[in-house]
Amino acid sequence: MSAGTNERALGLPARLAIYQSERFPVVRNGLVLAAYAGAMVAASAALGGRPLPGPAAFAVAFLVVFALFFQLRVCDEVKDRAIDARHQPDRPVPRGLVSLREVVGAGIAAAPLAALAAALLDPRLLLPLAAVWTWMALMAAEFFAPDWLRARPLAYLVSHMLVVPLIALFATACEWLVRGATPPPALGLLLAFSFANGCVTEFGRKTRAPQSERTGVETYSALWGPRRAVLVWAGSMAAAFLLGVAIGVAAGAVLLVAAAGLAGLLPTFALAARFATAPTPARERAIDLASGLWVLGSSLAVGFLPLAQRAYG
């Protein structure tokens, strides 16, 4: 009996457990998204000159953000189903571990849970949540222009990455909207920072060594070459760093935020230089890991260092 047949003989919970380990690792993503959601709540308070909200704001921000990023994975399964079936048949859906219907069902099931959590904190949060879901639906439909978008990788990137600042907007609203306050003056910087970090993740996971490229699978390294792709990755990280420093200025903690950012930026630049010189699978994996660590560390820095500065500075 083949491994695929063995997998299909498992019950749905066991098959979904294998699916998450391959496509949406719950523990790893949970840690990163908890830090990200918490940082957005904390940054909103810091930029607004307010104390941290209670634990309910952090809990709802995390639960909803986690559900939304899982639903983004489901959207990817829907829009990439034909490409995956043709060029990546080892992925869970095309190999038959789970059906597309089962994965979509799991994504749909997350919606009422997210909506309930948001409504219990403040029913007004359903408005920014609806905005995220509307954009996600357009993404799943590839904005009704799939061929046009796929022929223009940068337009495709921007159209899909705009969902990240929308998710950040929801997380910040768990602080300012629930308190009945106006959005913090530097909210635009925070949303731009989230967009830049979304690009870091996107370029990082699609920058590969030549040995890892697959025919028909779209990557930035295949499109531009590994050297240019890794330079764009490093450039998006530099943009996130500069936006983080600007947030630090607005929040009165520029030296702390800049120092923390440089501590993460310099090693990743060194990694980018090594990959540009000799793109290997090991360095490819290191870039993917560095992307996650950068998003984690930089989010914590802009979210919590200004509050630490205020409390102890």
Residue 5 located in a structural domain: no
205 plus 311 within the same structural domain = yes
Residue 154 located in a structural domain: no
135 plus 34 within the same structural domain = yes
pLDDT of amino acid 1: 40
For 196, the enclosing helix (H) or strand (E) is helix 187-205
Residue 4 located in a structural domain: no
Residue 219 located in a structural domain: yes
203 plus 300 within the same structural domain = yes
Please report, rounded to a whole number, the percentage of residues in the chain having pLDDT higher than 90: 85
Query: pTM, whole model, 2 decimals?
Result: 0.93
For 16, the enclosing helix (H) or strand (E) is helix 12-23
Q: How many CB atoms lie within 10 A of CB 157?
A: 17
Long-range Cβ contacts of 74-83 (<8 Å, 24+ apart) = 74/103, 74/104, 74/106, 74/107, 75/107, 75/136, 75/139, 75/140, 77/23, 77/103, 77/104, 78/104, 78/140, 79/139, 79/140, 79/141, 79/142, 79/146, 83/216, 83/217, 83/218
264 plus 304 within the same structural domain = yes
Write the CA distances from 279 to 210, 238, 282, integer angstroms: 7, 21, 8
Domain count, the chain: 2
Range(s) of the domain holding residue 212: 186-313
pLDDT 10s digits, 200-245: 999 999 999 999 998 888 899 999 999 999 999 999 999 999 999 9
131 plus 248 within the same structural domain = no
Residues 82 and 103: their CA atoms lie apart, in Å, by 15
pLDDT of amino acid 260: 97
pLDDT 10s digits, 59-77: 999 999 999 999 999 999 9
Residues 40 and 53: their CA atoms lie apart, in Å, by 12
Residues 7 and 11: their CA atoms lie apart, in Å, by 9
106 plus 135 within the same structural domain = yes
pLDDT 10s digits, 146-178: 889 988 989 999 999 999 999 999 999 999 999
130 plus 23 within the same structural domain = yes
Q: What is the CATH number of the domain that holds 26?
A: 1.10.357
Compute the Cα dihedral for 131, 193, 206, 95 and give only its sign. negative
Across 25-29, 63-67, 125-129, least confident range: 25-29
Whether the Cβ atoms of residue 256 and residue 248 lie closer than 8 Å to each other: yes
253 plus 302 within the same structural domain = yes
Residue 257 located in a structural domain: yes
Interior angle at CA 291, CA 285 and CA 296, nearest 5: 130
Residue 280 located in a structural domain: yes
The candidate with the shortest Cα–Cα distance to 61, out of 140, 142, 117, 15, is: 117
108 plus 40 within the same structural domain = yes
